[in-house]
Amino acid sequence: MPRLVLYPGSLLDIETDVIVNAANSSLMGGGGVDGVIHYAAGPALKEACRPLAPCPPGEVRVTEGFGLAPRLIFHTVGPIWHGGQNGEADILANCYRNCLTELSNRGLRRIVFPAISTGAYGYPPAQAAHIAVTICARHPMARDADIVFAVIDPQNRAAIAAALNAVR
């Protein structure tokens, strides 16, 4: 089983191979985690993202870290919550699955996730946390991975903590 950890702070504070950006499909930066990562990495990140867009929900695009501690940034687009009857759970699960597959395919072990889709996209934190933790705990390509959930928001942090306790 992978090592799953909750970190109550910014994903930019953690030494890791990869950070995951909860991006929008344009990959041009936005609010929340996406805006923080784009601001910290500078304009070169936006230029690197331009030819990779659009990124459909559930898929992953990869850029270098542009001076940030992680070597790579995995950009994934989570679903917008529309009540849960429009495939949102499958799309969110694919965000995590595809990031973990990409991590393994690149021979890397350490990845930091934000709480994908729980901000402006409105996904309920408890449901999102259950999906995130379950996928990360059971993904066959993540057996030896160090997976950190970096979450500043108290509601999302509590949801991730509860989901982690449920899989242990």
Note whether 55 and 21 are within 8 A (CB).
Answer: no
Annotated active-site residue in 13, 34, 144, 146: 34
Whole-number percent of the chain with pLDDT over 70: 99
Per-residue pLDDT of the chain (168 residues; tens, 9 = 90+): 679 999 999 999 999 999 999 999 999 999 999 999 999 999 999 999 999 999 999 999 999 999 999 999 999 999 999 999 999 999 999 999 999 999 999 999 999 999 999 999 999 999 999 999 999 999 987 788 999 999 999 999 999 999 999 998
Q: How far is CA 14 from the centre of its chain?
A: 14
Q: pTM value?
A: 0.96
CA gap 154, 167 in Å, rounded: 20
Phi, psi (rounded to 5 degrees) for 26: -75, -20
Match 């695009």 to its residue by tokens: 61
Q: Where are the domains of the chain?
A: 3-167
Q: Which residues contact 85 (CB under 8 A, 6 or more apart)?
A: none
**pLDDT of the residue at 9:** 94
Q: Is 128 helix (H, G, I), strand (E, B) or coil?
A: helix
Query: What CATH superfamily classification does 3-167 receive?
Result: Leucine Aminopeptidase, subunit E, domain 1 (3.40.220.10)
Q: What is the tens place of the pLDDT at every residue in 33-46?
A: 999 999 999 999 99
Q: Which of 140, 151, 115, 109 is nearest to 15 (CA)?
A: 109
Q: Is 17 a catalytic residue?
A: no
**pLDDT of the residue at 91:** 99
CA gap 154, 10 in Å, rounded: 13
CA gap 89, 121 in Å, rounded: 13
